[in-house]
Amino acid sequence: MKIGDLSRETGVSPRLLRYYEEQGLLEAERDGGGQRHYGPDAPVVVRRIRTLLDAGLPTRVIKEVLPCVEGDEQLAACTLTHLRGRLTGLEEQLAGLQATRDALAGLVEAVERTSRRLTAVG
């Protein structure tokens, strides 16, 4: 399967497919003319990559996790450590964002109170 065929079948641009190959996520063989040819499992591999990217995993983690993916999207137990780590990181980011939001809301409230007092006095 040529890169254009794989792109059409998966909806992933040829540029991204080349990137996946550079990252060691997708394998291609080259013919005598240097054109890439992907194996019959390439569409499944690309769908796996997209699923993991959509879950927020960086390509370096996907490279480690990809051998543990079964079928189109089913993850094996060997991915659990990576997935838990990523989830913990996201939860920490969310907590940090919530704290930032609360601090900003407190500032807005303080400015509004001061503004109301000044308006009432004036």
pLDDT tens digit sequence for 55-90: 888 899 899 888 877 665 566 677 788 788 888 999
122 has a pLDDT exceeding 70: no
Beta bridge partners of 2: 37
121 has a pLDDT exceeding 70: yes
As a three-state string, the secondary structure of the chain is CEHHHHHHHHCCCHHHHHHHHHCCCCCCEECCCCCEECCCCHHHHHHHHHHHHHCCCCHHHHHHHHHHEECCCEECHHHHHHHHHHHHHHHHHHHHHHHHHHHHHHHHHHHHHHHHHHHHHC
Task: Judge if pTM exceeds 0.75.
Answer: no
- Name the residue with tokens 């641009």: 13
For position 96, what pLDDT does the model report? 96
Written as six digits, the tokens of 79 are 């991915």
For position 70, what pLDDT does the model report? 66
pLDDT tens digit sequence for 92-112: 999 999 999 999 999 999 999
For position 74, what pLDDT does the model report? 63
- Name the residue with tokens 């394998």: 27
For position 72, what pLDDT does the model report? 53
Average pLDDT over residues 36-44: 93
**CATH class of the structural domain 1-75:** mainly alpha
Q: How would you classify the pairing of strands 36-37 and 69-70?
A: unpaired
pLDDT tens digit sequence for 17-29: 999 999 999 999 9
User: Each residue of 14-26: b (16+ CB within 10 Å) or e?
Assistant: eebbeebeeeebb
